[in-house]
Every structure is written in C-alpha cells, then in structure tokens.
Amino acid sequence: MSVLQKLTEKSWLPAGADMGADLGMTAERRPAIAATGVWIYIGVATVIFSLVVAAYILRLGNYGADPAKSAELAAGLPWWNLAALCGIPPAEDWRPLSEPPLLWANTAILILSSLAWRKARAETRRGQARELRAALVAGGVLAFAFLAGQLVVWRVLAGEGHFAGAGPATAFFYLITAVHGLHLAGGMAFWGRIATRAFKGAPPNELATSIKLCAVYWHYLLLVWTVMFGLMLIT
Amino acid sequence: MTTYTTIAEDTRPLHHPKTWVGKYVWSQDHKVIAIQYSLTAVGVGLVALVLSGLMRLQLAFPGAIPFITPEAYYQFVTMHGMIMVIYLLTALLLGGFGNYMIPLMIGARDMVFPFVNMLSYWVYLLSVIVLLASFFVPGGPTGAGWTLYPPQAITDGTPGAGWGIITMLASLAIFIVAFTMGGLNYATTVLQARTKGMTLMRMPCTVWGIFVATILGLLAFPALFVAAIMMMLDNTIGTSFFMPSIISMGEPLSHSGGSPILFQHLFWFFGHPEVYIVALPAFGIVSDIISTHSRKNIFGYRMMVWAIIIIGVLSFIVWAHHMYVSGMNPYFGYFFATSTLIIAVPTAIKVYNWVLTLWQGDIHLRVPLLFAIGFIFTFIHGGLTGLFLGNVSVDVPLSDTYFVVGHFHMVMGVSPILVIFGAIYHWYPKITGRMWNNVLGQLHFWITFIGVYIIYLPMHYLGLLGVPRRYYEMGETDFVPASVQWANEIITIAALTVGAAQIIFFYNLISSYFRGEKADPNPWGATSLEWQTPDTPPTHGNWGPTLPTVHRWAYDYSVPGAAQDFIPQNVPQGEPGADGDKM
C-alpha cells in the first residue's frame, strides 16, 4: 500500500480488521523497527550537517561589504573554488585553510573502516563467525584510528597558530570535525555492543540486523565526511 | 482471519521490574516516564509562572519590590519565555502526553525502545537542573531575551553574559539530546508498533498531532542545537560565527566578520516550527475531546489529518516572519508574508471543523469540553492577530510592542495550556482511576478563562498605543496616555488571580487522587483504545494477555441504530448491536 493510499483511506467506512494489515510489535518485526529508528536518526543528522553547510556558505560569502575589494579577492581564486564557481566573492576575512595532508590519510582510514563493515555484513550472510569477528575488530580499530587522526590534525593546526579564533574557515573546520567525530563516537558505542555479543559467541545471523544498520550508519558518516572535506577543499 | 504471533501471546515479562525503585524511578514503562516528564515540566513551569508574576508586579507598581532591578527583570523575561516554551510546553505535550498516549492509543505494549525512552527522561531532567543552576551561578541567569540574539547575549553589559548564557546554551543542547531520544521513540512507535487493524487513518487525531509534532521537532531542534554550539564557541574560545566587529564599553572586541543575522535564521528555523510542535499536539487532543464530549464523529477526519500534515510542512518555510525588522532583503518579506498567510488556510479548516463537530452534537458541557471550547476562542483570537503580524507593513509598527506579547501569549501560551488542562481532566480518570471534583473543575475553568482575557486582551490595545515590550519601566514617554498605567495594574491583578487560581487545580488533582470517587474505566463513553484497557489505571504492558485488534476508526459516535452512542475501536464490524443501518 502506498503512502498516498494509506493517507486517503476512508476509515469511517466498514472494513475488516485485515485492512491495511499493520501488524503489532512482533518479534519478527524487530529488524524493521530498529531500521526505522536508524533512518529517522539519519534524517536528524542530515539536518544538522545541512545547516552547518548552509551556515558555512553564508559565512563564506561577502554580503554588503566593499564590492571593489571583493571583486579583487574573487579574481585571485582558482576556477574550482566554490566562491568562483558560484560567483559569490568571499568575505574579506575569509582565509582559506591549508588542509594538512594527514586529512587525506584520515579519509582513507575512514573508507577502510566502512569497507570493514561491508565485509562484516557479508560475513553475517555467509555465517562465518571468525571472519565476522575479524571484520568487526578491523572496523572498530580503524574508526578509532580515524578519530585519533582527527585529534592529531587539531594539534597540528593549533601548533601552527590556527586555533578557532584564527578566522572563519578554521573555526568551521573545528566545528565540522567535532560534530562529525561525535557522531562517529556515538556509533562506536553500538560497535562496542555488537563486538561484545560477537565475542561472547552470538551466531552471525543473530547479529545480522545490528551489523547491517551499523554499516549503513558508517557509510552515511563516510558520505558526510566526503561532502564536508570536499567543501573545505574547494573554499 | 490470519493467525499471527505477537509479543501479545508471549506471556513472559518484557522487562518487568521487581523493586520499587525499578518500578517508579528507573522505570522503562512509558506511563511512568510520562508522569515523570509531566511532573518535572509542571514543576519547572511553576518557576516560570512565579517569574511572570514578579514581572507583572514590576510593570504595575514600578520599583515597589526592591530586588526587581532592571537586570533581574530581563533575567525573569528570558527565563520565563525559555522555560514556558521549551521546558514546560514541549516537554509536557510530547514527553508527557506523547509518552502516555501513543502506545495506549495505537494498541502497543510500550514504546519500541524503552531503554532509550528512560534515558530521554533522565537527560531531560539533567537539562532542567543545568537550567535552574543558572539562577545560582555568578552573574545570575542570562537576560538576553528568550531569543538569545547575539551579539548582545554574550557581550558584557547584558545580565548573565558570563556563566548565565553558558549554562543556558548547555541546557538547551542537553534538552535537544533528550528530545531526540524521545522523538525517535514516538515516531518509530507510531510507524512500526500499531496493533493489528490500526491503519494510519484509524489513529485518533491526538496521535496524529503528536506524531507530526515529533517529526517537526526532530527536524527543527537541530537548528537550535547548531546555533547553541556555535554561540558557545563564540563565547568561550573566541570564534566569530555570529559576532561581528564590535566595540563594547569603548574597547574593540577580538571578534570580526560574524553574522548576527545567521543566528536569527538558525534560531527561527527552529523557533517557528516550535510554535507548531506545541500547537499540533494541542490540535489533536482538542479534536478528540470535542468529538468525545459532543458524541459526534470529528467533522472531516481526513481533512483534519491532512491539515496537520500540511501545517507541519508549511511551518518550515515561514520562519523569517519573525525577522521583518531585522534588516533582511525586502523581497524575502514578500515570500515569507505569503507563506505565512497560506498557513492560515489549513489552520482555519481545523477551526471550522471543530465548530462543525460541535454543531448539532449531543453536547455534554463537562470540564474537558469547557477547556476545549475555551481553546477555540483563544486560538481564534491569537490566530487573527497573527494575520496582522504576518504582513510586513503592519508588523513593522507593531513589532516590539505589547501587541506581539498579547498575540503570542494568546496563540501559543494560553491556547495550548487550556488544552493541557482539558486533556488532564479528560484522561485523569484513566491515569489515576479516580474522578476529580466537578465544582472545583468548573471554578478553575471560569477563573482561568475569563482571567486570561483580562490579562491579554488589553495588551493588544497597549500595543496599538505603542507601548514597547521588554521595557523595565516606561520612563518619560509622552505618547503613552496615563491610562496605560491603570491597564497595567488591572492586568497584574488579573495575572496574580489566575496564577493563584491554579491552586484550585492542583488541590483538585491531589485530593482526588487520594479521596476521589472511583472512576469508571470509560467514564466518557469514548471509542479510542486507551479507554478499553483491561485495567484502570493501565498496568505494565497495557493490554493483559492479548493485544486489542482494531476494526474501525476512532470516531464511531452516535452511529444510527447502534445499541450505544459509541462503538469502541476494538469492537468487530457487524457484531450484534454494534452497527445499525451503517452495514
């Protein structure tokens, strides 16, 4: 039944209890319930990250300041810069951040972590408990490595004198990495639960739903990071 | 009928606690959590009520009370607004009524994530504690106004610019975490845990209102979260997200280039949907109260549901009507004025349908219905003044006057509160198993209803005269006639009377809990599932050994030829005596 059909049902007309056949909270429907929760949360997180991007682009643009100086700034930008692409001159105090090379390494680590979750998901289908545990360990350790790497980047930037007060691009870098990192750290709590169950000998098929949803969440955070990193690279 | 196994047939306990602490403190039962949420919200709301009394005393008798300094007045304004909107109304309608009603009304045993639900309450309690702690930090709570606009919110000279604003922002961030945990539960429960036969369009309007409000909250609170975090960073580590170059007390601050307007956009992207986060549950509840007590099906049920959804969608594209005087591009004004006026259409449909439901109904003027009808009055008044303020050219002179105060208190202060009172009287017999005292209930209604008109109606006239809001005292103002002072005194007396009259309400609830008459399980003859529980008050798990099966919508009142003037949702179609010529 499509959403439209559901919302146009003439519920006051007589009909049997089978109509719509929405089943109660049965044990078999636990996976669907958990999936709904995760997808709703992904919606919430998407709003958070979208608003940060909106604020970033608003802050990047120069509205109402000296047009001559803005034009001068815009002329000096490479063609792939977001401000040049969109035709908005950057704000006068916008000093592009020179992204440390370590960020590329961190990005690669996060991709590997996501791949490990993919592998774990495949192993639940195959029913290989040992390989599953290995993939889970890899996914968790790599995610830890990513978070540690982000902290190192913070230290490096702060050491170069780029702390939060050093300009809007730097301030947004800290904000974005912090919010993204916190989301990943929240995911680690679920990783901890799943890994504990796996090492206590839970059969792979019992873990399938949790691992699938965790993998979805990890891929989502990878996507968010890619967008955020890309945005910071082109500004 | 197809056979299916549910947890209903599984008689092993879900998570039945054994100790008193497990049952009533660290409880995962949605009903206990709902009560915890409600009591906390009402408790902190009483603080805000006292603050409003103090503000009114200052306005009527300037300088009469020594400790109400200008700084203290701004702190009272701020804390009153923030507590009422977020920590009372949002928490009570969603955390309280949402938690209690959703599982019962859709025929579930509990929320789908009971542990997260419990966590939601405790994190909410933490946010309230952090908020109240701000009364005791150096410098006191923030006095930036409930909108917390930068740069003044975090600049020296504003009361509570140091610790006050930090505790406020921290408390908001914690509240949003709590709300998100609760909201995930409410939305997922409605989508996934409805009992057999409970199609979306068989859900009572209450559930629809709470459900759509939850979705709004989940999508709107992130904006406040982001804004709170960014302002916190501006305040603590010296970023300039919102702070422009500014000279404060003769000294240039280290900030530069930030955009205060960006904060306003983020704040109101949350702030406007927030109005509907409070209003939509009230709309839903009032529909059910009116239908039940006038023994008629709700007029235009599908339209009512669609209107809730449409209002929810539209509420995300009207936020800048709070910013007409902020200096934004005038063309934006056209867009936001138009979208604001469009939202009046589905809202008006709802009002017409409530009135049409009452039309020729078998009206029983019991206390819940009195409050519901009172709501229709106050909501129409608040809604109509909203049309004034929605137009840019009318808003500009009225902005920052008492007209605005009168408007928003009518539409999102008094109206939802009246519904909450009505809802408490309506469901009290189910929640406690006892009946309240009717005389006290009637008295409470009439004092409150007439009182709020004496308080807020004159404010519109004050606003038209140009009396500015947020002022500690009027000072030398020739354009304001002396009668404004009399009006202020009358308003204050009415406000203190209405405030004191709430003692009747609390006395009624508390004494009835111990000494009230035993209530019938379904005293109003209502159709929806929460009245059909095997036990009153409902016990853990709600439904005994088997879940109810739903066979009809929630509004089969006065069906021609039926044996009674209501047919509960779990009565099968065609049961002898259940349906008359409808078949």
Position A25 confidence tier, pLDDT thresholds 50, 70, 90:
low
Residues 2-61 in A contacting B (C-alpha not used; CB under 8 Å): 6-12, 14-27, 29, 32-33, 36-37, 40-41, 43-44, 47-48, 51-52, 55, 58-59
- The count of domains in chain B is 2
Does residue B576 lie in a domain region? yes
What range defines the domain where residue B158 resides? 27-203
The pLDDT mean for chain B works out to: 92
Question: Among candidates B463, B378, B381, B375, which has minimal Cα distance to B419?
Answer: B375
What range defines the domain where residue A209 resides? 35-233
**Two tokens at B451?**
């009182």
CATH at residue A88: 1.20.120.80
- H or E element that contains B364: none
Contact across the interface for A171 and B241, Cβ inside 8 Å = yes
Reply yes or no on whether the pLDDT at B14 is more than 70.
no
- The count of domains in chain A is 1
Chain A nearest-CA distance from B478, in A, is 37
Closest-CA residue in chain A for B179?
A: A44
**Stretch B505-527: mean pLDDT, rounded?**
95
Buried b (16+ CB within 10 A) or exposed e, A91-126: bebbebbeebeebeebbebbebbbbbbebbbebbee
From the centroid of its chain, how far is CA B455?
Answer: 20
Position B2 confidence tier, pLDDT thresholds 50, 70, 90:
very low
Of B178, B203, B228, the position where a domain reaches its end is B203
Does residue B532 lie in a domain region? yes
Does residue A121 lie in a domain region? yes
Does residue B49 lie in a domain region? yes
Reply yes or no on whether the pLDDT at A93 is more than 80.
no
Residue pointed to by tokens 């078949």: B583
**Two tokens at B498?**
């209405």
Question: Among candidates B429, B418, B419, B420, which has minimal Cα distance to B513?
Answer: B429
Does residue A1 lie in a domain region? no
Of B203, B235, B260, the position where a domain reaches its end is B203
Buried b (16+ CB within 10 A) or exposed e, A22-41: bbbbbeebeeebbbbbbebb
Chain A nearest-CA distance from B187, in A, is 8
Does residue B289 lie in a domain region? no
What is the reported pLDDT for A63?
Answer: 59
Over residues B440-461, the pLDDT tens digits come to: 999 999 999 999 999 999 999 9
Position A21 confidence tier, pLDDT thresholds 50, 70, 90:
very low
Position A62 confidence tier, pLDDT thresholds 50, 70, 90:
low
Of B179, B203, B227, the position where a domain reaches its end is B203
- Give CA–CA dist B160/B158, Å, rounded: 6
Q: Is the ipTM value over 0.85, yes or no?
A: yes
Reply yes or no on whether the pLDDT at B42 is more than 90.
yes
What is the reported pLDDT for B581?
Answer: 44
Chain A nearest-CA distance from B226, in A, is 7
Residue pointed to by tokens 């009377």: B497
Q: How many CB atoms lie within 10 A of CB B34?
A: 25
Chain A nearest-CA distance from B182, in A, is 11
What is the reported pLDDT for A160?
Answer: 84
Does residue B61 lie in a domain region? yes
Does residue A19 lie in a domain region? no
**Stretch B39-50: mean pLDDT, rounded?**
97
Q: Which long-range contacts (CB under 8 A, 24 or more apart) does A49-54 make?
A: A49/A179, A49/A180, A49/A224, A49/A227, A49/A228, A51/B222, A51/B223, A51/B226, A51/B266, A51/B269, A52/A172, A52/A175, A52/A176, A52/A179, A52/B226, A53/A227, A53/A228, A53/A231
> In this complex, is the C-beta atom of A194 within 8 Å of any C-beta atom belonging to chain B?
no
- Give CA–CA dist B42/A109, Å, rounded: 49
> In this complex, is the C-beta atom of A119 within 8 Å of any C-beta atom belonging to chain B?
no
Percent of chain A whose pLDDT exceeds 90? 54
Does residue B424 lie in a domain region? no
Contact across the interface for A12 and B297, Cβ inside 8 Å = yes
- Give CA–CA dist B3/A230, Å, rounded: 53
Position A23 confidence tier, pLDDT thresholds 50, 70, 90:
low
What is the reported pLDDT for B577?
Answer: 52
Contact across the interface for B107 and A33, Cβ inside 8 Å = no
Does residue A45 lie in a domain region? yes
Over residues B59-96, the pLDDT tens digits come to: 999 989 999 999 999 999 999 999 999 999 999 999 99
Q: CA angle, B273 as apex, B280 and B267 as ends, to 5°?
A: 155
Which of A9, A33, A163 is nearest residue B193 as measured by Cβ atoms?
A33
Reply yes or no on whether the pLDDT at B510 is more than 60.
yes
Reply yes or no on whether the pLDDT at B3 is more than 70.
no
For B495, which DSSP code?
Answer: H
Position A32 confidence tier, pLDDT thresholds 50, 70, 90:
confident
Does residue B84 lie in a domain region? yes
Peptide bond before B281: cis, by omega within 30 degrees of 0? no
What is the reported pLDDT for B13?
Answer: 46
Contact across the interface for B223 and A51, Cβ inside 8 Å = yes
B16 versus B350: the higher-pLDDT residue is B350
- Give CA–CA dist A183/A151, Å, rounded: 15
- Give CA–CA dist B55/B491, Å, rounded: 11
Q: Which residues of B touch A29 (CB under 8 A)?
A: 192
Say if residues B418 and B375 touch (Cβ distance below 8 Å): yes
Over residues B351-393, the pLDDT tens digits come to: 999 999 999 999 999 999 999 999 999 999 999 999 999 999 9
Contact across the interface for A171 and B583, Cβ inside 8 Å = no
